[in-house]
Amino acid sequence: MTNRPLLPKRMAARLRSVYAKVEDARSYVAHAEAKILDCMIHLEEYEVSPVFFAQLYYPTTTGIDSYAVQTHIFKTRAEIERKTQLKR
């Protein structure tokens, strides 16, 4: 036997549900922080040398003004903004 208090089944189910929601929220925040870090690294690489960034990640494009490079940078900035807004 365990030393657990006897809880009504309904209350125990609610507690499990609340604990699961808390764990999901904690996991989301941890993943969001990791994603922000990845995005910041990509953005920093671009800001240091846009030409090298374009050659490294998009070797078949025509340069830093290509659609692929500009879209990637735009989406990265938007994702950083969105994820930091959720943290507040």
At residue 44, the pLDDT reads 95
Q: What pLDDT, on a 0 to 100 scale, did the predictor assign at position 40?
A: 95
Give backbone dihedrals phi and psi of 34, rounded to 5 degrees, phi first. -65, -40
Q: Which stretches in the chain have pLDDT values below 70?
A: 1-2, 86-88
**Residue ranges making up the domain that contains 44:** 9-87
pLDDT tens, residue by residue, 51-70: 999 999 888 877 888 999 99
Domain assignment present for 65: yes
Residue 58 lies in a domain: yes
Residue at 1 is within a domain: no
Tell me the one-letter amino acid at 31: H
Total number of domains in the chain: 1
Whole-model pTM? Answer: 0.68
pLDDT given at position 72: 93
Asked if the structure places residue 72 within a domain, the reply is yes
